[in-house]
Amino acid sequence: MAEEKKTNYDVVVIGAGPGGMTAAMYASRANLSVLMLDRGIYGGNLNNTAEIENYTGFKSVKGPDLAQQMYEGATQFGADYAYGTVEKVELVGDEKHLTTDMGDTFVAKAVVIATGSDQRKLAVPGEAEFSGRGVSYCAVCDGAFFKGKNLIVVGGGDSAVEEGGYLTQLANKVTVLVRRDKLRAQPIEQEKAFKNPKLEFVYNTSVTEIVGDDTKVTGVKTVNNVTGETGEMAADGVFIYVGNVPMTAPFKGLGILDDKGWVKTDDKMATAVPGIFAVGDVRDTVLRQVATAVGDGAIAGQQVYKYLDSQK
C-alpha cells in the first residue's frame, strides 16, 4: 500500500532560501516535525547569484553550490521538503491551515514565512513580450545563451553591478544603464566594476521600451533623464535588475504586512499572529543578505521551539 502523505507538522516553513532552510534546520534539530514548502528548487535567490563573497566561511562561493550545501544541512535532522506554492493561510484556533496550488492542505502548529522577494519588473513595453527571448532577470541561468554578444543591464544596485560583471565573462560587452547620475551598489563592487574593461556605465538613462524582431530582442529605446533626449541602443539581450518586491500575496489577510507588503516582525522574528514567524528578505529589514537571512532563520527556528513548548 502506498505510504500516506504526511500533512500535519509542528512547523511548516514557506520558502527554502537561506533563511527558510536555516529555520528548518534549527527546528528539526530541536526534534520538531518540519516541512519546507517551496514553489521550486530550494535555494531561492541563491540560484540567481553567480558568486557570493560576503558570506562568512567562504572567500567566494557560487550561489547554486551554496544552496545545495545548505539543503543538505537543513534536511539532515529530518526536515521534509515538498513543492507547492502556498495560496492561502487560514487560522483555525491555534492551527494554521495552508493550501497550495497543488491542491494540498497542510496543518501546522507554527509557520515560518521565508518567501523572500521577486525581481521587480521594469514595466515598459516589450518587457513581457520578449521575456525568455532576450529579456532575462537571471544572469546565472541565461548568460550562457549570450556568448560573444552585446548586452544591456538595467539598474544600479549590487545586483546590476555584480551580475553585469559576471556577464562580461561570457559576453562581448555589457552596458549598464543607470537611471540616476550614480550607482546604489556598495563601493567595493563599484571599484571592481570600474576596472572591468568590458563593462560600461551609462548614467541618467532610462529604458522606455524593449524592441525586437519576430524572434528576439534587438535593442532598447532610451531617454536621458536630464536632457530629455531620446535614443535607441542595439543589444542582443537585456538583463533587468531594478530591485525586489516582497512575495507576500497569500498573507495579506493576516494583518502582518507593512504598507509596502513586507512582513513586520519583532527581534524574535515573531509577527503579530502568535505562531507565525518571518525571516530573510521578506521581512521589513535594513539589510537583505545571505548572512542576515541565515541569522534570522536561526532565531526563528529556536523561537518556534519556545513557542510550541509554551503551548503545552
Q: Can you give the binding site for ligand NAP, defined by CB under 6 A?
A: 54, 122, 154-160, 162, 179-180, 184, 206, 241-244, 288-289
Q: Which residues are catalytic?
A: 138, 141-142
Closest of 265, 305, 244 to residue 119, by C-alpha: 244
Of 107 and 291, the one with the shorter C-beta distance to ligand NAP is: 291
Q: Identify the CA nearest to 90 among candidates 305, 250, 274.
A: 250
Q: Is residue 223 within 8 Å of residue 230, measured between CB atoms? A: yes
Helices (H), 174-241: 187-194
DSSP state at residue 296: H
Radius of gyration of the chain (CA): 21
How far is residue 17 from each of residues 82, 112, 123, 290, measured CA to CA in Å?
A: 13, 12, 26, 9
Give 91-100 contacts, CB < 8 A, sequence gap 24+: 91/254, 91/273, 94/274, 94/275, 94/311, 96/12, 96/275, 96/276, 98/12, 98/14, 98/37, 100/37
Nearer of residues 111 and 282 to ligand NAP, judged by Cβ: 282
Q: Please report how close the Cβ of residue 243 comes to ligand NAP at its closest, in angstroms.
A: 3
Residue nearest to ligand NAP (CB): 157
Q: Give the shortest CB-37-to-ligand NAP separation in angstroms.
A: 23
Give the amino acid at 108. Answer: A
Does residue 298 sit in helix, strand or coil?
helix
Taking the complex as a whole, how short is the minimal distance between the CB of residue 162 and ligand NAP, in angstroms?
Answer: 5
Minimum Å distance from CB 97 to ligand NAP?
32
Residue with cell 513557542: 307
Q: Which residue, 97 or 179, has its beta carbon nearer to ligand NAP?
A: 179
Take residue 222 and report the three cell numbers written for it: 532610451
Q: For 125-137, b where at least 16 C-beta lie within 10 A, e where not — what string?
A: ebbeebbeebbbb
For residue 196, give the 3-state DSSP assignment. coil
Rounded to an integer, what distance in angstroms lies between the CA atom of residue 265 and that of residue 148? 46
Q: How far from each other are the two terminal CA atoms of the chain, in whole angstroms?
A: 35
Nearest distance in Å: CB 289, ligand NAP: 5
Instruction: Name the residue nearer to ligand NAP (CB basis): 50 or 89.
Output: 50
Q: Kindly state the smallest distance separating residue 290's Cβ from ligand NAP, in Å.
A: 8
User: Which is closer to ligand NAP, CB of 22 or CB of 159?
Assistant: 159
**CB nearer to ligand NAP: pick between 115 and 159:** 159
Nearest approach in angstroms of CB 70 to ligand NAP is 17
State how beta strands 86-92 and 105-113 pair: unpaired
For 253, residues 6+ apart whose C-beta sits below 8 A from its C-beta are none
Between 101 and 232, whose beta carbon lies closer to ligand NAP?
232
